[in-house]
Amino acid sequence: MFGNMKMYEPRNPKYKEYTEYKISLNEFMRSLGFVINEIQPGYTAGFLDFAKIHEQQNGWLHGGITAAILDMVEGFAAYSLVNDGQQVFTVDARVSYYNPGIAQKFYARGWVDKPGKRFHFCEGELYYINEAGEEITVAKGSSTMAVI
């Protein structure tokens, strides 16, 4: 949980199981090593242990992984706020890169900022915790998710 998160009534009483089921089918997330360990209605969060396969040309976290993880936490946040059986597809996504991703562990959270019948507008952020215990935002994302 964090400050920007909004509280929603779930649309599906089994929203957690439904979202976990969709996550379990996500082969790319598994191959990347990203783990979602918190699901609330309209909110998901998880972590990534940094490994060599995540490096871009300077040995830092690849921006494409950042974009992919933001798509996951935002997309599954959307999944946690739909009716049983509905699907979610990314229509549009934007990522702004605030700081280089230099850390051994990264965290990400995604949330539905504006829910709707046809679209969920989502936001997310990927960050690490520095030695002083502060969150350093690597990237901020926003996306338009179609609910079908």
Residues that bind its own copies (CB under 8 A): 3-4, 22-23, 25-31, 52-59, 62-65, 67-69, 71-72, 75, 87, 89-100, 113-114, 118-119, 121, 137, 140, 142, 144, 146
Q: Which is nearer to its own copies, 41 or 88 (CB)?
A: 88
Q: Taking the complex as a whole, how short is the minimal distance between the CB of residue 94 and its own copies, in angstroms? A: 5
CB 133 within 8 A of CB 106: no
Q: Which is nearer to its own copies, 8 or 142 (CB)?
A: 142
Q: In 3D, which of 40, 35, 28 has the Cα closest to residue 64?
A: 28
Q: Taking the complex as a whole, how short is the minimal distance between the CB of residue 91 and its own copies, in angstroms? A: 6
How many residues in the chain? 148
Cβ of 142: how many Cβ atoms within 10 Å?
A: 16
Q: How far is residue 95's CA from residue 98's CA, in Å, rounded to a whole number?
A: 9
